[in-house]
Structure 1
Amino acid sequence: MDSGDEQDVTESKGKKKKRYHRHTPRQIQELEAMFKINPHPDEKQRMQLSRDLGLEPRQIKFWFQNRRTQMKATYKKFFFFLSFFLVFVKKKIGFFFFNGKKSLPLVQTQHERADNCALRSENDKIRCENIAMREALKNAICPTCGSSQEAEDSYFDEQKLRMENARLKEELDRVSTITSKYLGRPITQLPPIQPLSVSSLDLTVGGYGNPGFNPSLDIDQLGVGPPTMAFPFLTISEIERPMMVELATRSMEELIRLAQADEPLWTRIGTDGRQILNLETYERIFPRPVQQFRSPDTRVESSRDSGDVMMNSLALVDMFMDPVSYLGQGKWMELFPTIVSNARTIEVLMHGMDGSRSGALVLMYGEFLGLSPVVPLREFCFLRYCQQIEQDLWVISDISILYPKENQFSSSTKCRLPSGCLIQDMPNGYSKVVWVEHMEIEEKNPIHQLYHDLVDSGIAFGAQRWIATLQRMCERIACLMVTDNSPRDLGGVIPTAEGKRSMMRLSQRMVSNFCSTLGSSNGHRWTAPAGLNDVGIRVTVHKCSDSGQPNGVFLTAATSIWLPFSPQAVFSFFRDERSRVQWDVLSNGKAVQEVTRIANGQHPGNCISLLRAAMNPSNPNEGNMLILQESCTDPSGSLVVYASVDLASINIAMSGEDPSYIPLLPSGFTVLPDGRPGTGSNASSSSNPMGGSSGSVLTVAFQIMVSSLPSAKLNLESVATVNNIIGATVQQIKAALSSPGA
């Protein structure tokens, strides 16, 4: 039946008579234009088309149904003939190399017939794999790295041009600013630089790798890194959209099976009951022909965990899919500040049906943190698909795709296989979340020995960490929404509920800023300077002119050490204001007093504190500086972050005004389990996170301002200063924890 026709059926003399209504060229043109934008229009859109084109809503509905069927048939034919072509080429090549006798073509023909029958039955399942095979036949693939030298060279040439363009644009802005001061008016700027067009996305699962940085850089080479480059412009063709939909749909189906299955697909290991995939069973259930290109150094990380979350399913789905929040970040980043350091929505491929999130498909970019400079962050470009599969059951499915790399300092190749979560509403307003995390990782540089066990076991980026962070942050959001004031929490210092929320927002921005500094995104390279590295510090330099951050050039320095104490013991030491004098070298040995406290969850360690050092009578101005501190802990690790804030800024926040313009320069500590069972002085403690880890890995990170001028250069004195501060802090922490009264 023609896609532009509607069929009416009438009865005449006992026989059915068909009558067709031909659409006008204008009507077909308008319908085709709408189909390109949205092949699944909702009822409101169909009614609008009906009014514009003079057609019945029923005619509009049938036209789109027929058009989708026609499109699906076209793609089936295309992939069917492509499958036959690939088999034909494969058999011809095999016959050329391996058949040395004339009697073998008959046997080969029989094999071809059998293969053709198998391909017919499995055609729908291997569409994406066929695309990967086609690319493999077109390009010369290196068996070691999985990419062609020509493509790699062109990529780095393009990146050099981007960096040069960014440098020239920065120079132009600087000259324009100076010139406008003398002219008394803004000068005419050059037209904006158009983003370079990037070739279409490869819809196979995986990611590109980049060479790591040289850890032996001289101090003179340390300076402000290249400006943040915009995400490369991605051109998504019309033919790629249905392929992405197909890939996302298959990923969602696999995720649902992984989340709901039990043994033998999943195996429990360790004393904490952690679940990992049985890879032999998994590859038998979900065969992937593209696995033949996997490097022998590739490591598979898989995990599954579940937990009850203090938020209903609709609110959770909205935060996973909505890129807007009061912090200017995505709500997804807001929900996982200690894991997701950067996230962007590249393009919305499908909107939800009937005004809901069900059926929404977005192309996203994300960076996942390891909370230490020596643990490389993981970057993914992925499709996120949201679907309501039952009345109170939602699924959020992620599948990574190849993308043009923007960060040149990545030290690993990452591939996120079908991962995500099932969200089930519960009667008490909570949600039960089942999380599956499945990755293939190939590290180009060995992981630091302090974090080797934690990362290699898959715990560092596993499902347990996502669930624990989600539970803690949902408790925090619930506390943020509470409108009544509790004297026990506020201490009578913060007058209103709006003031409490403003303080919580200010503190959350402080934590997000601190966590993001521990990654190596946006060209911030961590370097171990020679000659000044007594405690193994790494430094990086960045400049900032954003609102809410001091203007100028900043030096961030960090080091990680192993401690033979449980993570909970170390965390309790840091959150006790009475022991602060034992490690805070910046307080000059003065005791601190907690002015007020805001609870962030059920655990007493999850709180925001406002601290004040003991006043010096000879210097009354010291009372104008306070310390804003947030501490948080969950089974995956702990965090203590603090920053100096002047009294005037604190009064602005406590009065309920917008705190986004209050400058913060946070420092702090991360405390993670070491992943090594049965070591340390508290090996038998039942309170250890991750069930069995007894020691902990502590990361100390400080930020100092080098200069208030954005054009300033780093000097050796600044590095030496921060090196001395970290060195003294580490020694005092070790001594305090080892003392008998600790």
Structure 2
Amino acid sequence: MGLCIWMTVETVFPSPLVPSRKCTFVRCCRDMQNGTVIIVDVSLDNGDGTFKCHKMPSGILIRSLNSDASQVTVVEHVQVNDTGVHELYRPSLSGLMFGARRWVSSIVRQSARMRDLFIVSKSASNGNTNGRKTLMKIADGLLADYASGIAAVPGSGWTILRGAGTEDDIRITYRKNNDDSNNAVVSVCASFHLPVPLKVTFDLLKNNLLRPKWDVLVNGNSVREEVAVCKGVGAGIDDVVSILHLKDPPTRENRDNIMILQNSGYDVSGAFMVYCPVNIQVMNEIMSPSNTAESNNVSLYPTGFHLLPVEDTALGLGEGGATLVTAGFQIMLKLARGTGLYPRSASTAAGLMTENIATIKKTLTSSHPIFYRRQPPNNLI
């Protein structure tokens, strides 16, 4: 039994320095008698038109090993015009950003999340399971909002500002808020090298003891993980949806009671950490067994990082070398007469990004002893 469909797909990477890949192709799926599923993609055009990506025969082979495990093989074979990719990202084009390795890691991550949720649902009450499902749905939406706010914008849609003390630029764009024409959701993005291996960078960013030193959102408060809603961990993979509790230091009045929803994932080809503040009352409503529709009413403005390894051939991928960090955040700002951002608002946003990156560089490099004696490069892009 087989099925063929005509598809147009646009694949994005969360950085304005990497154009999206748009490709049109025919996808054929066939379920074989031995329990194997074959999915084959192939473009029928020559790739010369507006689609700068031509898919040669590619696809996925899924072979059942037993009742609860499968072997997945992915082949990604494309001809693509990558002339618009910034030189900072060119070393990562071969498999790390758009290749088969990324497809496999995404499949593994989502499968682990579904597995963990299914296992919990057997032992937990239905209400608790519904709350977890809702929270995981919001976490997936948080990651999608972060990626679309940074990646799904043409290069001409970004304003380039030079941040104080940086060599190159910080990129800013905005989209009008549907609810209020005088407000805009502003996306701010920058990329930089960090002289720390990928796995170490990821672990240090997630370290809650270091968080008060660099995270503007935390602002010196203490951070504690309350719940790991999903914890799909396997060989070389770290994947967690978690709820963090943000508290004032004991010497100060506890005025705010804020939770942080965080979605993070790691494998040797790349990592991400995306998060946003959520009021504790809203979080309780989301997790409530009787209010699983709350996810449709939550407005999230994510902050986050996407990490790529700068390979050291003497060591394993992600274990040595440096890390290419793409940092971004979204905030709500007023528009100037409904037509654009106030110059002062744009400058303030760029200054915030500049200061945050400088703090991250200082905190993470000094927290990893191997790099104590190394001078971190100042090459913000």
| TM-score, normalisation: structure 2 | 0.84
The aligned residue for residue 397 of structure 1 is: 40
Partner of 2:213: 582
* Distance change in 2, residues 1:466/1:711 (3 Å): same
CA drift of 1:397 comes to 1.2
Once the two structures are superposed, the pairs formed by residues 140-155 of structure 1 within 5 Å of their partners are none
Instruction: Compute the RMSD of aligned alpha carbons.
Output: 3.3
**Contact in 2 for aligned 1:517/1:556 (Cα 8 Å):** yes
Which position in structure 2 is the counterpart of 1:443? 82
Q: How does 1:681-720 map to 2 (within 5 A)?
A: 684=315, 686=316, 688-689=317-318, 694-707=321-334, 711=338, 713-720=340-347
Counterpart of 1:608 in structure 2: which amino acid?
V
User: For 1:345-380, what per-residue CA distance to the aligned partner results, in whole angstroms no more than 9, with x for missing partners?
Assistant: xxxxxxxxxxxxx32222222111223221211111
3-state SS of the aligned residue for 1:474?
helix
Candidates 708, 715, 722, aligned match of 2:349: 722
Separation (CA, whole Å) in 2 of partners of 1:399 and 1:533: 48
What is the aligned partner in structure 1 of residue 157 from structure 2? 525
Partner of 2:24: 381
Alignment partner, residue 239 of structure 2: 606
* Whole-Å separation in 1 of the counterparts to 2:256 and 2:324: 34
Q: Secondary structure at the match of 1:606?
A: strand
Structure 1 residue 498 and structure 2 residue 133: aligned? no
Give the secondary structure class of the aligned counterpart of 1:513.
helix
Partners in 1 of 2:345 and 2:79 — Cα distance?
40
What residue is the counterpart of 1:538 in the other structure?
171
CA change 1:365–1:590 in 2 (3 A) is same
SS state at 2:66 partner: coil
For 1:592, the equivalent position in structure 2 comes to: 223
- Which digits, 9 at most, give the CA deviation of each residue in 1:452-490, with x for residues without a partner? 1111x3432111111122111110121233344889xxx
User: Residue 706 of structure 1: CA displacement?
Assistant: 1.5
Select the residue among 473, 476, 487 that pairs with 2:110.
Answer: 473
Q: Which amino acid counterpart does residue 644 of structure 1 have in structure 2?
A: P
Q: Counterpart of 2:379? A: none
Give the distance between the partners of 2:337 and 2:269, measured in 1 at CA: 37
Q: Which of 649, 660, 663 pairs up with 2:282?
A: 649
CA distance in 2, matches of 1:581, 1:442: 43
Runs of 5+ consecutive residues of structure 1 not aligned to the other structure: 1-357, 488-493, 679-683
CA-to-aligned-CA distance 1:598-649 (integer Å, 9 cap, x gap): 23302484212222222378765411x3211111112321111001112222
Q: Distance in 1 between matches of 2:147 and 2:47?
A: 25
- 1:425 corresponding residue in structure 2: 64
Q: Is the 8 A contact 2:160 2:170 kept in 1?
A: yes
Q: Does 1:561 find its partner at 2:192?
A: yes
Please state how far the C-alpha of 1:567 moved relative to its aligned partner: 0.5
1:686-713: CA deviation from partner (whole Å, max 9, x where unpaired): 5x43xx7622111110111123899452
What TM-score, normalized by structure 1, do the two folds share?
0.45
Q: Which amino acid aligns with 2:70?
A: S
> Is 1:453 paired with 2:91?
yes
Contact preservation (8 Å) 1:553, 1:707: yes
Report the equivalent of 1:462: 99
Name the % identity: 27
- 1:550, 1:593 → 2: CA distance? 37
Cα offset, 1:741, TM superposition: 5.7
Query: Relative contact order (C-alpha < 8 Å, sep 6+): which is higher?
Result: 2
Q: Could you say what secondary structure the match of 1:464 adopts?
A: helix
The 1:359/1:552 distance shift into structure 2, 3 A limit, reads farther
Change (3 A) 1:550 1:563: farther
User: Is the contact made by 2:163 and 2:350 (CA closer than 8 Å) also made in structure 1?
Assistant: no
Give the superposition deviation at 1:588.
2.2
User: Alpha-carbon deviation of 1:530?
Assistant: 5.6
Larger Rg: 1
Partners of 2:156 and 2:363 in 1: CA distance? 33
